[in-house]
Structures are given as C-alpha cells and as structure tokens.
C-alpha cells in the first residue's frame, strides 16, 4: 500500500505521480477550479452592481416623490358640471 499524505499528494517519490493520466487529471482539476472561482467572482460582482443600482434607483425615486408636489386630477376630481 502506498503512503497517503493528508493533502492527497502522492509526493515526488511516488511512481504514479509521473503517470501522464494522473498529471492530466490534476491539471484538469486545477483548471476547472480556477474557472469556477472566476465565475463565482464575476457573479458576485454582478450581484453587487445590480444591488447598488437598485438602491440608487429607489433612493432617486423616494427623493423625487418628496420633491414633487401632489398633482390634482384634471377635470374637477370627477364631479360633473351639469346638475
């Protein structure tokens, strides 16, 4: 049985660590991990930007509502002129 380190590395002295299939699997794993981490970073950045935009829009809408006077409906508020 081969010695097994806690990190999962077989070490440089192991003959299986030079096996092309093992080297390929490790490099594919590293590549996939980097791609996944980059994807998560971009998704979190996009979510932060969208949240900031949503906050800015709601702040702008509330400040416009405070500044604009209430408009009365045209036409006398629904009352007719004929008796």
User: What's the pLDDT at 36?
Assistant: 98
Residue of 33, 32, 56, 36 lying closest to 44 (CA atoms): 36
Residue 18: pLDDT band (50, 70, 90) is confident
Mean pLDDT over 11-23 rounds to 75
**Entry pTM:** 0.47
Residues 30-68 have pLDDT tens digits of 999 999 999 999 999 999 999 999 888 777 777 776 666
| d(C-alpha 48, C-alpha 56), whole Å | 12
Going from the C-alpha of 60 to that of each of 19, 45, 47, 54, 66, the distances in angstroms are 62, 23, 20, 10, 10
Dihedral of CA atoms 16, 17, 21, 24 in degrees, nearest 10, equals: 170
């Amino acid at each position: 049985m081969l010695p097994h380190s806690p990190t999962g590395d077989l070490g440089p002295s192991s003959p299986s660590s030079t096996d092309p299939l093992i080297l390929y699997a490790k490099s594919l794993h590293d590549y996939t991990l980097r791609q996944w981490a980059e994807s998560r970073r971009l998704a979190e950045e996009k979510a932060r930007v969208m949240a900031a935009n949503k906050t800015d829009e709601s702040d702008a809408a509330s400040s416009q509502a405070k500044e604009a006077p209430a408009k009365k409906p045209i036409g006398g508020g629904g009352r007719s002129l004929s008796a």
